[in-house]
Amino acid sequence: MQGFPNEACGLFGAYDFEGRSIASCIYWGMISQNHRGHHSYGFLTSDGEFKLRTGIGLIPNGGKRFIQELQQLSGNIGIGHVRYVTSGEIGSSLSEAAQPFIDEYKGSKIAIGYNGNLANKVKLSKSIEEKFGTLSTSSDTELLSKKLLEGLENG
Pairwise CA distance, residues 101 & 144, whole Å:
10
Catalytic residue, candidates 1, 2, 8, 9 = 9
Cα distance between residue 150 and residue 155, in whole Å: 9
- Among 62, 100, 121, which Cα is nearest to 129's? 121
Beta strands in 32-143, from DSSP E residues, in sequence order: 40-46, 50-56, 77-83, 101-105, 108-112
Q: Is 25 a catalytic residue?
A: no
Catalogue the active-site residues. 9
